Amino acid sequence: MSYQKITPEQFLEQMEQYSKWYSDLPQLAQEILDYVSGGTSTMPQLNNHHAWYFSSAVNLLNLPDAWTEMDKNIIKLIVQHDQNWQKGKPNPDYYFGRRFMDWVEEVIREYPQKNYFPLVVDELKRNGLNDACILEDTISELKYVLMDREGRLTGVGEYVLSFLPEKESQILGWVKSNNDSSLNTLLGFLLKHREQTVEDRIENFLEVYNGYYSQTYISVSNIELLLQHNAQKYESAIKKALHAGGIGAASTYEAFEALAKHLPDEYEPKRLEAGFTYLITQKKEANPDPIPTGYWYYSEGSKRIPPANPNEYWKYIPYSVYIIDYLLEKDPVNAKTAAVKYLKDNTSVKSEFLTTLEKHLQGDAVDILIEGIYADPGKVDSDYFRTLLGILSKHDYKRHEEKVWALTRHKSKRLREIVAVTLSKLGDSSIAKAEQLLADKKGDVRQAGALILSLIGTDTAKSILSNALNAEKNDDARDVMLQALGEKLFEGASEETIKEMVAATKKRSKIEKPVEDWLLEKDLPALYYKSGDQLDEHTIRFLLYRMGRSKDIRPDIEAKPLLLQLDREKSGDFAKKLYELFIQKGSDSKQKYLLALAGLLGNDDLVDKLKAQVNQLVEANRGKMGEYTVQALALIGSNKALRAVEFLSRKYKSKNRNVGAAAMDAFKIAAEELNISFYELADSIIPDFGFEGLFKSFVAKDQEYRAFIDTDFKLAFFDEDNRKFKSLPKGTAKEIQDEFKEIGKEVRDIVKSQSGRMEQYLVIQRKWDVETWQGFFTGNPIMFVYAVRLLWGAYDAQGNLLYPFMVMEDTSLINLDDEEVMLEDGVQLGMVHPLSLSEDDLQAWKTKLFDYGMEPIFPQLDRAIVRVEDKDQNVKISNEFDKKKISSYAFGGQMEKLGWARGSVVDGGYVSGYYKAFPESAIEVFIETDGIYVGGYYEDSAYLSRLYFVKMGAVAIGNYTYDEPSNEKDERLIAFGDVPAIIYSEVMSDLKQVIIPEEKQQEELQEA
């Protein structure tokens, strides 16, 4: 991080944000400020619980040449609270002394040629630290700022040099006890500014160490540095260290690779020999260097390859892969022999090793690769067998076919499945052997045979499966057969067919006892066929047994024909009982089939319970069960259920977005089954409550009344004289009161979800044809309120606004001049975005809507408007928001409310940015961030960074995922001028809302 100063007010604000963890933080922060500013001589006493929070006090410091008494008091506070420094000892703790040294590093990096470090040293001495302590901590904490980027000495470097050569032994000892990276950094410093020390103590830089997993190594990074500086001069010392022995095969290879780069004639043969040695002797991938390079993406035994393009990322290649690639290129004959031995002897072969063999040898690799077929699935990586068998299937492996068939008997289910896929690609020639597997004594083998035949999928294969189906007792094998035969197997199934299926299941001894000990059929409400006949206990048990075979929240293939025969009007009590039992037993995912069956048989009485359960599960951090419950809700299939699903898809669009995505997918599936669009389904589930048009008539005390939904979305009533009432007339029958009470409640729920959806329609500019719009907006009592309170427009086929209009309470349409509008055939209707209006028309329509008392449901004409400037038409990555300050505490919530979602979480738990999707236009927008942390802690300062638009789904998002465009040449980017004007405007408006205004920042500085 770069040097950033904060004000006392900002320091206090941070402590306020953290006070939800420790309520005493603000008071202690004020005591700190009172002490450092000289308001009191009493130093506050801070404990370990406060350390992390108060470590940011270091950012109160001015630059060293502007230090005042306040700065000196801050340093005194730091020293006195550091467990070692307060005793005059080196090795500062993380939160006080080390954080101060981090601050010094930030300052030196930013001002490398300023002579600040002597001032730091003087102040530390004034607080009781001597040169020995300061020097040791300088070496361990400030080693990366001994020089600037051009290799010139900084004040830190000059300070260290002042102790040479007297303190050489101590300095080298400190560095070696730290890590190899520190030694390499010191070596680079000494080669440039005091090479004599390197020459005198060369053995210190070429020692052999024990690394990870008992691997021995020599620092190859030190060797490379020495060779780059002067290969001729240091070759003998390096050769001597290598000949001394005791170095692991991987590190030896890397050392000879470095030597061959500078002295190829002598060392290329030795590099080749070292490569063969590695493959022949190494039983497990070895890391040639002890330092986990790449932090989170470090993997044992990986070779770190720098990119050819500086904008690309480093590559990490398994070491065996790196070496075999080199050997096959230099000595293919002996490399083949080495590869065979490596595959036979090694327990952790990487899948990339196999693909490298194929890359060099093509079909000739088969005879080598077949040796890898005996690997242990539990020890190789997850893609190993899929890669191996995938390569074999691309080439002629007939001479090794029996070895592949033998794997159908392997104990690993995952391996058997991969083998089945491979063998099925042989087509008809594998049918006979697969049929033989169906007769095997072991169920696992029969399952493999069934899978092969199901994947072949010919009539012959299906006939064999059909003949074996009812005799198969292994559920897994039988399920494979059922999936292969498909739902056509049960087409036209009748009640008699169901009885035959139950009898066959009974014969296979599958329904002799209840599916769960506590799930007794006699205790469940009755189920009925559509014919009116009641299901017996064995049929109910069959239904429960088969639903238990379903891995997802959907009907099992063999349960489905029975479900189709059931009377859904009478199944609600059964569904509720199943759901109650499921909840009583702790909502165990192993019993989610009960949840699915409750959805398949439930009615609207279950909707509110399931909807509430989703929210409870999310709060309890049981997101996966929340997804299952949303899917079960969709299975109910009623309008009320689908409204709840659609609502949940938007409620959890940002937070807990897996639940939101599950709801969205379920809603889309429902739309696809009805052969209508997502939005058409959303429209269709808005109820009319039995209204005739906009009114619902009823009688109270012999007088007729008409109920309607007023412009405030509340029920109102007209009597026969058209007098308006806000409550039901006296004498209204109780059943009518109950009905309208329920209607009022449901209207409130619908408006909560529909208003957000309507605003989304404005942004995406959804359009309706005239007939559909009139039916939906002037024929539905709820949607008519939206029609009246929003400004509408008629558009041509290209989406250009022809004319705006508003809807009157008598359903007539008028223009700006109060003239009635007649809608022509062929026009499209939609809400008017202010970008579509001239400034004069915009102001005129605002005035008109105000005059009519039409308060918009959401900001429509008052929305902020931002247009792409001419200079930005071709821009693809904007820095307009770079360094714009945001609240690290509130930013995430602000963005989620605006429809943005968190992007990738990267190294250190930082959030790379936020993104917003516009699926209708196949566009996503990303804003990168600096200082936003996912772990619940907040940075002193947080800022926005680059803004760019990309094609939908083009940028990968995930944990430790780095897929952002590096520059404007990236083909995924969209020029700002090509982004739809409304999307651009909405995005820019969102971002301007979350930026902390400059005036507020200036006020804070002035107050400080």
Q: What DSSP line would sit under 747-797, residue for residue?
A: HHHHHHHHHHHHHHHHHHT--EEHHHHHHHHSSSHHHHHHHHHS-EEEE-T
Residues in a beta bridge with 830: 793
Q: Which of 378, 388, 326 is nearest to 351 (CA)?
A: 388
919 versus 146: which is more confidently predicted?
A: 146
Average pLDDT over residues 312-337: 87
Average pLDDT over residues 683-698: 92
* pLDDT for residue 308 is more than 70: no
What does the DSSP 8-state code read for residue 378? T
Return d(Cα 467, Cα 490) in angstroms, integer. 15
- 26 prior amide bond cis, ω within 30: no
Q: How many residues does the chain have?
A: 1008
* DSSP-H helix ranges across 459-510: 459-469, 475-485, 495-507
Residue at 791 is within a domain: yes
Average pLDDT over residues 33-53: 84
Q: What is the pLDDT, as a whole number, of residue 935?
A: 60
Indicate which CATH number applies to the domain containing 453.
1.25.10
Return d(Cα 592, Cα 632) in angstroms, integer. 9
For residue 603 the two structure tokens come to 């009615």
Q: Are residues 554 and 452 in the same domain?
A: no
Q: What is the pLDDT, as a whole number, of residue 310?
A: 54
**Phi and psi, residue 881, nearest 5°:** -100, 5
Q: Which of 414, 321, 319 is nearest to 376 (CA)?
A: 414
> Which is it for the CA torsion 219, 221, 225, 228, positive or negative?
positive
> Containing domain of residue 491, as a range?
482-684
Residue at 225 is within a domain: no
Q: Which helix (H) or strand (E) holds 417?
A: helix 413-424
Average pLDDT over residues 238-263: 92
For residue 3, count CB atoms less than 10 angstroms from its CB and return exposed for 0-12, middle for 13-18, buried for 19 or more.
middle
Q: What is the pLDDT, as a whole number, of residue 1008?
A: 43
Q: Are residues 727 and 610 in the same domain?
A: no
pLDDT digits (tens, 9 = 90+) for 915-966: 999 988 999 999 999 888 876 555 556 889 999 999 999 999 988 788 899 8
Residue at 256 is within a domain: no
Average pLDDT over residues 476-498: 90
Average of per-residue pLDDT values in the chain? 90
pTM of the entire structure?
0.65
Q: Are residues 456 and 517 in the same domain?
A: no
Reduce the DSSP state of residue 54 to 3 states and report it.
helix
Average pLDDT over residues 204-217: 78
Report percent pLDDT > 90 for the chain.
71
Q: Which amino acid is at 162?
A: S
Contact yes or no for 141/147 (Cβ under 8 A): no
With cut-offs at 50, 70 and 90, classify the pLDDT of residue 6: confident
Q: Which of 804, 821, 851 is the last residue of a domain?
A: 851
Domain count, the chain: 5
Please name the residue that has the structure tokens 């630290």: 129
Q: What is the pLDDT, as a whole number, of residue 25?
A: 84
Residue at 206 is within a domain: no
Average pLDDT over residues 838-859: 93
Residue at 875 is within a domain: yes
* DSSP-H helix ranges across 585-720: 592-601, 607-619, 623-636, 639-651, 657-674, 678-684
Q: Which of 132, 163, 194 is the last residue of a domain?
A: 163
Question: Helix/strand/coil (H, E, C) string of 845-899?
Answer: HHHHHHHCCCCCCCCCCCCCCCCCCHHHCCCCEECCCCCCEECCCCHHHHHHHCC
Q: What is the pLDDT, as a whole number, of residue 889?
A: 77
Q: Are residues 637 and 674 in the same domain?
A: yes
Contact yes or no for 985/949 (Cβ under 8 A): no
Rounded (5°) CA angle 406-410-411: 165
With cut-offs at 50, 70 and 90, classify the pLDDT of residue 1005: very low
With cut-offs at 50, 70 and 90, classify the pLDDT of residue 160: very high
Return d(Cα 54, Cα 845) in angstroms, integer. 55
Rg for the chain, CA atoms, rounded: 37
Q: Are residues 1 and 140 in the same domain?
A: yes
Q: Are residues 839 and 874 in the same domain?
A: no
Residue at 204 is within a domain: no
Return d(Cα 236, Cα 226) in angstroms, integer. 11
pLDDT digits (tens, 9 = 90+) for 956-975: 998 878 889 988 999 999 99
Return d(Cα 568, Cα 638) in angstroms, integer. 12
* pLDDT for residue 469 is more than 60: yes
Residue at 907 is within a domain: yes
Q: Which of 435, 441, 383, 378 is nearest to 409 (CA)?
A: 441
With cut-offs at 50, 70 and 90, classify the pLDDT of residue 298: very low
Q: Are residues 532 and 493 in the same domain?
A: yes
Average pLDDT over residues 507-536: 95
With cut-offs at 50, 70 and 90, classify the pLDDT of residue 887: confident
Q: Are residues 637 and 517 in the same domain?
A: yes
Q: Are residues 647 and 733 in the same domain?
A: no
Residue at 563 is within a domain: yes
Q: Are residues 890 and 966 in the same domain?
A: yes
Q: What is the pLDDT, as a whole number, of residue 786?
A: 96
* pLDDT for residue 307 is more than 90: no
Q: Are residues 909 and 806 in the same domain?
A: no
DSSP string covering 94-151: TTTHHHHHHHHHHHHHHSTTS--HHHHHHHHHHTT--HHHHHHHHHHHSGGGSB-TTS
Q: Which helix (H) or strand (E) holds 982?
A: helix 981-994
For residue 36, count CB atoms less than 10 angstroms from its CB and return exposed for 0-12, middle for 13-18, buried for 19 or more.
buried
Q: Which of 422, 443, 474 is the last residue of a domain?
A: 474
* pLDDT for residue 670 is more than 60: yes
Q: Are residues 649 and 717 in the same domain?
A: no
Q: What is the pLDDT, as a whole number, of residue 940?
A: 54
* pLDDT for residue 52 is more than 90: no
Chain centre distance of CA 290:
31
Contact yes or no for 352/345 (Cβ under 8 A): no
* pLDDT for residue 300 is more than 50: no
Q: Which of 422, 390, 393 is nearest to 405 (CA)?
A: 422
Average pLDDT over residues 771-792: 95
pLDDT digits (tens, 9 = 90+) for 253-290: 999 999 999 999 999 999 999 999 999 887 766 544 43
Average pLDDT over residues 426-450: 95
> Which is it for the CA torsion 811, 817, 822, 824, positive or negative?
negative
* pLDDT for residue 312 is more than 90: no
* pLDDT for residue 513 is more than 90: yes
